[in-house]
Amino acid sequence: MNEQELKVLLARENAEFRRILDDHRTCELELDGLRAKTPFGDAEALAERELKKRKLALKDRMYQIMAEYGKRP
């Protein structure tokens, strides 16, 4: 099973994974909206940094769940 297939499977079967995936997508949309703003000031730069940190933490947790799934008997 490839990575994308595993993500689809876990999104369907694992509530935590599904929530994290949704949160990750929301962060991406918020980042896109923030990047579209002009001018890009200090407040936007801070918000962008925080969103990137949150998005990375969510991605790390998704991959942790994926790795745990792969270790199942």
> How would you class 27 by CB atoms within 10 Å of its CB: exposed for 0-12, middle for 13-18, buried for 19 or more?
buried
Q: What is the pLDDT of residue 57?
A: 98
* Residue of 32, 27, 13 lying closest to 58 (CA atoms): 27
Ranges of H-type helices in 1-73: 3-13, 15-35, 42-70
Q: What is the pLDDT of residues 2-61, one digit of tens each?
A: 999 999 999 999 999 999 999 999 999 999 998 888 788 898 899 999 999 999 999 999
Q: What is the pLDDT of residue 61?
A: 98
